Amino acid sequence: MNHPKGPILDGSMVDSRIKDEGARKEQSVLSDIVSFFTSVRTTIVILCCLAIASILGTIIPQNINLEDLRRTASPFYFRIVVILDLHNLYRSWWFIVLLLLLTSNLLGCLLQRLPKIPKEWRGAADKGSVSFHRSDSRPIHEVKGMLTESVSKLMNKNPTVVEGGEATELVWVKHRIFLLGFPLIHIAIIVILIGGLIGLLYGFKGNIQLREGEVGNRFVLYPSGAIATLPFDIAVDSFTLTRYETGQPKEYRSDVVILKDGKEELKGPIRVNQPMTFEGISLYQANYQVVGVKHVRLSVKGVDGAEEEINIRPGEAIPLPGGELQIKLASLDPGTTSRGARVEIDVERAGKQDRVVKVFRNDSDPAKVEDAKIRFLGYEPLYATGLQIGYDPGTVFVWSGCGLLIAGFVIILFTNLTAVSIRLTQGDGRTKIRVHGRSRRDRAQFREQVEATIRESLGKSSSGA
């Protein structure tokens, strides 16, 4: 008979609530609640709700400024937004309730199904697709010997033998690790959800901006915007930016030192995709800004024709050839026109500002200051690096859960549980043989193999009954 069942699972995974319902006489509220949490239909409903809620969160803008909304939206809509936390949907109370419901439902389903596993582990095959009986004229120990030999060859292992008073049982089970597959998958999801909850409750995120050479420990929390303090100091030694020929950023990194009470604890680079972690808190390279100038490169040509290249830093005064004048940096503009970047130079005579000279990078003619000719060669920018700060104590659970999930998938996809159990009894001068068998996959083929093996090994002197 061809059972119209799903190809991987047999009847034992079908909602056993349907079978139990007939036996239950009273419909108490408690049993209704229990059946709610152990039902797969509930799972489907909760998943549906979560999916719809998640879709809403991608359509309704998230993390917007509530004060702006209060001013622009109608009071009624604003109240709904506040009650349901629609603009912070994934952290809202009702979304978390849905996730907790899912976790409870998973736990319920697991607790209901786990107790059935030990029996299946031992090789119970009564609900399998192989089920037939025969009787044989030969004595029980002879039949036992023949069947043991033939079926052991088919299953490629020896059986567990249980000799009772009346009956002898031979049980073969292979790949019973399959039975752990589905439980593992569902335990994994619970672990992941717990990890997410821990991160939500005990984790934090924020960002800090530090200039090259600066040391700091105060950062901005996300999403509240409040200021918090790290349990250590970050000192930015330098920030490096390299570009492709096209001008697009190739790599940028910050070289930092972590200090605790002035003592150097950790030193190293923070690159995009390569964060630094200290005391559980991780620092990520997020972005950068040009906030100043380290030095400007000028070439100064005196009246004698000698050209000298100088580096001038902000605040520094450099004398010009001739001795009377000196120059200081006033300001620098990165420049957006074809003339390029522009530096403004204060020219001082005897300590007082004499004039301001503008020099453009791409100009062909140098700027003239009395007898000196000045060219603007380039500058070294001073960067402020933007580091993102993250602390999530739940990640260890989340990654463990992911590992369990993958292990569960590997088990159910690559193992096939097969079992044969043969029960031999003596009655009416004949040996009665009762055969059960199950296979998670390729049932028809397995059934044929078992039937053929037993038929051949018993030969002609047996009869089906």
Partner 1 sequence: MTSIELITYVTFSYLICAVVYLLACISTEQESGFRSGALGLLIIIWCVHTFAIGLRWVESYQMGIGRAPLSNLYESLVFFSWCIGLGLILVRMKFRTDIVVLIGLPVAFIALASTSLLDPTIKPLIPALQSNWLVAHVVTCFLGYAGFAVSFVAACLYLISRGFNSLEPYLPNQRLLDEIVYKSILAGYPMLTIGIITGAAWADYAWGSYWSWDPKETWSLITWMVYSMFLHARLARNWKGRRTAALSVVGFGAVLFTYFGVNYLPGLHSYF
> Whole-angstrom Cα distance, residue 446 to residue 438?
8
Q: Can you tell me which of 406, 444, 452, 465 binds partner 1, judged by CB under 8 A?
A: 406
Is 136 in contact with 99 (CB distance < 8 Å)? Answer: no
CA distances from 333 to 29, 209, 242, 292, 385 (A): 75, 22, 21, 10, 20
> Whole-angstrom Cα distance, residue 276 to residue 222?
19
Q: Can you tell me which of 363, 402, 425, 426 binds partner 1, judged by CB under 8 A?
A: 402
Q: Which stretch binds partner 1 (CB under 8 A): 5-13, 27-35, 294-302, 421-429?
A: 5-13
Q: Quote the least distance from Cβ 392 to partner 1, whole Å.
A: 7
Q: Does 72 help bind partner 1 (rule: CB under 8 A)?
A: no
Q: Does 389 help bind partner 1 (rule: CB under 8 A)?
A: yes
Q: Does 246 help bind partner 1 (rule: CB under 8 A)?
A: yes
Q: Which stretch binds partner 1 (CB under 8 A): 232-240, 242-250, 326-334, 345-353?
A: 242-250
Q: Quote the least distance from Cβ 292 to partner 1, whole Å.
A: 23
Q: Which is nearer to partner 1, 186 or 423 (CB)?
A: 186
Q: Which is nearer to partner 1, 207 or 238 (CB)?
A: 207
Q: Which of residues 10-49 bind partner 1 (CB under 8 A)?
A: 13-15, 40-41, 43-44, 47-48
> Whole-angstrom Cα distance, residue 372 to residue 369?
5
Is 260 in contact with 233 (CB distance < 8 Å)? Answer: yes
Q: Quote the least distance from Cβ 251 to partner 1, whole Å.
A: 6
> Whole-angstrom Cα distance, residue 187 to residue 190?
5
Q: Which residues, other chains included, contact 96 with Cβ-Cβ below 8 Å and sequence gap of 6+?
A: 197, 200
Q: Does 388 help bind partner 1 (rule: CB under 8 A)?
A: yes
Q: Which of residues 87-146 bind partner 1 (CB under 8 A)?
A: 90
Core vs surface per residue 236-254: b (16+ CB within 10 A) or e: beebeeeeeeeeeeeebbb
Q: Which is nearer to partner 1, 99 or 155 (CB)?
A: 99
SS3 409: helix
Q: Which stretch binds partner 1 (CB under 8 A): 79-87, 167-175, 248-256, 433-441?
A: 248-256
Q: Which is nearer to partner 1, 9 or 83 (CB)?
A: 9
Residue 436: DSSP 8-state = E
Q: Which stretch binds partner 1 (CB under 8 A): 51-59, 118-126, 259-267, 378-386?
A: 51-59
Question: How many residues line the site for partner 1 (CB under 8 A)?
Answer: 55
Q: Does 392 help bind partner 1 (rule: CB under 8 A)?
A: yes
Q: Which stretch binds partner 1 (CB under 8 A): 153-161, 277-285, 310-318, 370-378?
A: 277-285
Is 425 in contact with 400 (CB distance < 8 Å)? Answer: no
Q: Which is nearer to partner 1, 78 or 222 (CB)?
A: 222
Q: Which secondary structure element, helix H or strand E, spans residue 147, and what is its range? A: helix 140-155
> Whole-angstrom Cα distance, residue 25 to residue 97?
32
Residue 157: DSSP 8-state = S
> Whole-angstrom Cα distance, residue 67 to residue 64?
9
Q: Which stretch binds partner 1 (CB under 8 A): 25-33, 165-173, 274-282, 434-442?
A: 274-282
Q: Which is nearer to partner 1, 123 or 196 (CB)?
A: 196
Q: Does 55 help bind partner 1 (rule: CB under 8 A)?
A: yes
DSSP assignment string, 239-297: EEEEE-TTS-EEEEEEEEEEEETTEEEEEEEEETTB-EEETTEEEEEEEEEEEEEEEEE
Beta-bridge partners for 289: 384
Binding mask 327-366 for partner 1 (x = CB under 8 A): ----------------------------------------
Q: Does 390 help bind partner 1 (rule: CB under 8 A)?
A: yes
Note the Cα 190 to chain centre separation in Å.
14
SS3 38: coil
**Which residues contribute to the site for partner 1 (CB under 8 A)?**
4-9, 13-15, 40-41, 43-44, 47-48, 50-51, 54-55, 57-59, 61-62, 90, 196, 205, 244, 246, 248-252, 271-275, 282, 284-286, 388-390, 392, 395, 398-399, 402, 405-406, 409, 413
